[in-house]
Every structure is written in structure tokens, then in C-alpha cells.
Amino acid sequence: MRGIGNMNVEDVPEPEPGAHEVKVKIAYCGICGTDPENLAGRFGLMPPEFYNEPRILGHEACGTVAAVGSAVKNYKVGQRVACDFGQACGACYYCRNKMPHYCRARAEATGAFAEYAVYPEACVYALPDDLSFEIGALLEPVSVAVHAIDAANVRTGGTVAISGAGPIGLLCMEVALRAGAARMLVSEPVAEKRQLAKKLGADVVVDPFKEDLVAAGKELTDGRGFDTVIEASGSLAAARQAIDLADNCATVLWAAVYGKDAEIGVRPFLMYARELTIRSIFVSPYCFPRALNLLPRLELAPLITNIVPLAEINKAFELHKTGKPIKILIKP
């Protein structure tokens, strides 16, 4: 990426690992919803200087260890791995207070929309031999879903509504069902995604543009609303409506990325009268080992709708804009 909206396929020197790093030959790297936001200059976490230097995007990656640094003890060349995208320093205030995802000195991996990428050793996770690379590429988004369900207060036998049947929405649904959710509603305007949500375990699927979502939710929950509502679409309208879907003492979780300056009004009296909890999540601290355990137990293959060669990555980003794919993998 060479500035906003400017992404090219170029030959660059192969990255080489430092003493505590692992070089990975990338098998697949998924397009995350933040990647198009970064390319378009809309991702609120990135300062203007982010665009001053050329950089390689991509962080939902897996592959084969190609080389290891002199101090690496736990991995060897030829090993199959999936990857996180950064290592917390362990020494700053946030790391020492159980918030490593807000680390002030994070060691970042190189971008994985490439043939090779280099990772801190702590960011690499061994993949079981019987797990495909396609599934391995979903480790990072599955870890986000694990963090979401941790934060969403999903209870055994509880009711859950999810807005958005993209990768995070569907993964949250699958993990919530594994965590014991007994009734599940998914709201999604794209018919094919609704059908997949139904196939993967949703009791009710709703087109929010054509149906009364709140009424459907009341019907499924005997008129009460949901114990947990997860907003994973990135729609501000859906984020507002999530509050209307919630039962008394419910947890509402905003699990999507929204515009930096977007605002959602919340009535304090409603919070008082219904004792709601509204939460959000940011990446997935301490969740990768459990996500790795879940990979063979979730139905993940149906979420992979497109595999695109690295040489055609701009076409893949255009395809992502249509909203029709679920998860697009880039293959170097």
C-alpha cells in the first residue's frame, strides 16, 4: 500500500527473522474488515503518518515456518503454523495490568499479503497436521469471536441476537452456541448469509430491511428480548437497535468497527430502568490458545467463500466491497 487507495503487487526483499523471530511462508491470508478501511483511510486507529510509508497489509495468516532466529526454541523449519499479528512487550503499564492489547511498545509482524512474513516467536501457533491451512487462516478471527463471547455474558440456556452474518457475526454465533446459548436470532440483509446462519444453528433469521426485527426477537423470547445482543455488522442503525432487542439486565456488545466520529445516543433513563450493560471489544487478548482448540470443532469451511491469488488482490478488495462474500482468502 502506497497511500490511501493505492495498493500494488510488487517485488520487495524477503523479510528475514531476528533472533527471536520466525519467518513464515504464507499459505493464506484472510481479508479482515479493517483492511479495506485502512486502504480507504477510514480506520480511526491509524494516525495520518500511517500513510506516509509504503507497507504490506494483511494479518489473518497461516503457513509453513521457513526460517527461525537464533534464539527461537519452540519452532522448526517446515512446521505448520497460524499467526497473531503482534506481541505485547510485557513491561508497560497496560501489559502489567492485564491489558496487553493496549501495549505501548507492541512488536508488530510484517504484513501477510505477501509470500513471506516475519513474526515474533510469541505470535506463532502450531497447527495440527489434520487441520487444513484454509481453516488455519481463520485462527485470528475465531480468537476475536472468543473474546466477544467472553465479554457478552452468554449463559448456558440463554438467548442471543446477532446483527450481521459476516465472518465475525457467524463466528460469534457458533461460539455462543458452543458456550450454551439456547435460542439464537441472526439479522442479515443478504439472503445467502441468512441461509448459512440458519444452516449453522440460528433458530430465526431476519432481513432487517424487510421485516420487523424487534417483533421477531420478542416472538422468539416470549415477549422479553434477549439476554445478550451482539452487533457485528458495523451499521450504526443496527448498533442503536441492539438496545431495543435487549431484555432487562441484558448485555449489549458492540463487536464491529464504526466510523471514528460516529455517535449513538443512549437514553440514561433507559439504562437506569432496564439495568443494561453496554460493552465493546478490541482484538483478542489471551484468546488464541482457546481459539486454536476450537478450530476443529467449529464449522468454518462454509465461511470461506472466495480464494483469490495474490496477483489479483485488488479484485479481491473490490469483491469485498459488494458485501456478498463472507471470508475472502488471499493465496500467494
Asked if 171 and 246 sit in the same domain, the reply is yes
Contacts of 175 (CB under 8 A, 6+ apart): 142, 145, 146, 148, 149, 294, 298
**Angle ∠(316,322,327) on CA atoms, nearest 5:** 55
Q: Which tens digits make up the pLDDT trace of 278-325?
A: 999 999 999 999 999 999 999 999 999 999 999 999 999 999 999 999
Q: Which tens digits make up the pLDDT trace of 129-184?
A: 999 999 999 999 999 999 999 999 999 999 999 999 999 999 999 999 999 999 99
Query: Is 115 a member of any domain?
Result: yes
Query: Is 192 a member of any domain?
Result: yes
* Four-residue CA torsion sign, 167, 168, 173, 177: positive
Domain containing residue 252: CATH number: 3.40.50.720
Asked if 150 and 273 sit in the same domain, the reply is yes
* Distances in whole angstroms, Cα of residue 96 to Cα of each of 87, 105, 106: 14, 13, 13
DSSP 86: E
Indicate the helix (H) or strand (E) that contains 217.
helix 213-220
Query: Is 292 a member of any domain?
Result: no
Q: Does residue 256 contact residue 279 with C-beta atoms inside 8 Å?
A: no
Query: Is 4 a member of any domain?
Result: no
Q: What is the pTM of this model?
A: 0.97
The predicted pLDDT at position 132 comes to: 98
Asked if 262 and 221 sit in the same domain, the reply is yes
Give phi and psi for 4, each to the nearest 5.
-65, 125
Buried b (16+ CB within 10 A) or exposed e, 87-117: bbeeebebbeeeebbebeebbebbbbbbbbb
pLDDT band at 228 (very low <50, low <70, confident <90, very high): very high
Q: Which tens digits make up the pLDDT trace of 77-111?
A: 999 999 999 999 999 999 999 999 999 999 999 99
Asked if 115 and 29 sit in the same domain, the reply is yes
Asked if 311 and 268 sit in the same domain, the reply is no
Give phi and psi for 48, each to the nearest 5.
-55, -35
Q: Which tens digits make up the pLDDT trace of 1-53?
A: 999 999 999 999 999 999 999 999 999 999 999 999 999 999 999 988 889 99
Contacts of 238 (CB under 8 A, 6+ apart): 163, 164, 187, 208, 231
Asked if 171 and 250 sit in the same domain, the reply is yes
Query: Is 261 a member of any domain?
Result: yes
Asked if 115 and 162 sit in the same domain, the reply is no
Asked if 194 and 209 sit in the same domain, the reply is yes
Asked if 111 and 170 sit in the same domain, the reply is no
- List the domain range (segments joined by +) for residue 53: 21-138+300-331
Asked if 274 and 253 sit in the same domain, the reply is yes
* Distances in whole angstroms, Cα of residue 101 to Cα of each of 75, 81, 98, 162: 24, 21, 9, 25
15, amino acid identity: P
Asked if 234 and 265 sit in the same domain, the reply is yes
What the block records as the C-alpha cell of 118 is 516475519
Domain containing residue 325: CATH number: 3.90.180.10
Asked if 155 and 194 sit in the same domain, the reply is yes
CA dihedral 278, 232, 288, 42 (to 10 degrees): -100
What the block records as the C-alpha cell of 108 is 508488530
Query: Is 9 a member of any domain?
Result: no
The predicted pLDDT at position 191 comes to: 98
The predicted pLDDT at position 107 comes to: 96
CA distance 126 to 111: 19
Closest CA to 12 of 21, 22, 3, 2: 2
Query: Is 294 a member of any domain?
Result: no
The total of structural domains in the chain comes to 2
Query: Is 34 a member of any domain?
Result: yes
Instruction: Return mean pLDDT, the chain.
Output: 97
Q: Which tens digits make up the pLDDT trace of 246-277?
A: 999 999 999 999 999 999 999 999 999 999 99
The predicted pLDDT at position 48 comes to: 86
